[in-house]
Structure formats: structure tokens, C-alpha cells
Structure 1
């Protein structure tokens, strides 16, 4: 969690007005002041994780629902996925290279889903 909070703090220093949503496992988490703002705006439950860490979140499968709610509240946000640490967008060339290197005989359904999902999120980040 400390790496995420450190990344959150760095991003907030660059743009304090933007809400940062982090992919964590099968959830998206929102931290500290951003969590308070989102909780007040759309009603997500706050969780106290200890000194100086508050979070709220939602399942990965509900990303479209919650980003629509945030857009409707005119809140500026950015989704930070595992595929794009430090908000780095994967290029089309990198995606093609990854696709060509997939060993389909040894890829689980979860790995395939995660790969496709991460590509989708990268393209959504480009559109925002």
C-alpha cells in the first residue's frame, strides 16, 4: 500500500485537482482526500486503513458505471492501471509485440482477460 500512497502523493503534487483511481487486484481504490470527495459525490463507503490513509473503491467490473457517475458530477479523474504505472500509456507497437509473444498453450483465462482488459483501459485513458 505504501507504494500506491507514494504514487498518489506524487500525482497529487503534479495535479491536485484531479482524482486518481488506482487498480488494486480486482478493485479500483481511491485514497485520502480524493476518497472523501468521491464518497461525498457518489456515496462510496470510506474505509480507514490507519494513520493518514483513507480509501474507498469499487470492483473492476463496475469501472464504466463509476466513471460515468464521476463525469456526471463534473469531477476530473484519471484511472491508473497496472498496465500503465505512473500513468504511462502503452503504445500500439508494444501491444502488438505482447500479442505476438503470448504462448496460447500456457495462458490462463484470467491472464487472457487481464491482458485484454488492460489494453481496453489504455485506450480509454488515451480518449480522456
Structure 2
């Protein structure tokens, strides 16, 4: 959403996406991140923009991470122990499961900084 909405930190996301375009980086996004972005736009009353967001995500060099057993278990563990929302737990579990760097602008993720590498965008 930061990149699409041209929010603070969009330049950092753009750099990461450019690296992915030339196969220097692998960019992953949890299906929950896609759903959250879609929902965020849709709740503003703009169904067409929400669909455009979804289609745009499909053409970016982003691999959508779905559901698998190890991420399901990890997400449950995270939710039970850290009190994050379901979506936040899935997103973090996906990053951990793929040993990825979590790029975010979510203050509640800061408590996880010792558990996984992250790039924190401006809030």
C-alpha cells in the first residue's frame, strides 16, 4: 500500500521492487497483506480501485505466499504468544517461514525486531 498510495517510504519499496524486476531480490507478500490492502481500499467505498489494487499486485514482481502447514502453525504460535491480530500473525509467520526481511510500517511489529530482520518504513 505504501508504494501504491505513494506514502512516506514509497521510495524504499520502489528500490526493492526494482531489484526484484532485475532478479536481484525476491519479493514475497502474504495473501493476508493482499487481502488487507484490498479491504482497506474497499472500505473507503471504491470497489473499482480495490480491484485495480488486486490486479496491480498480480503484475508486480511479487510472489504471493499462501497457506501451508508450517506457516499456519507459526501464525497460531505468534498470535497466542504475542497478541498480534490474525492478519499480523500471518504476515509475520510468512516472513519467518521464508526467512525473509519484513518490510513494514506497523508499530506493533517492533517488538519482533530481535526475532526476524526487518525494514521499518516511516509510520
Same fold by TM (over 0.5)? no
The structure carrying a bigger strand percent of its residues is 1
| TM-score normalised per structure 1 | 0.31
Structure ID, larger Rg = 1
| TM-score normalised per structure 2 | 0.32
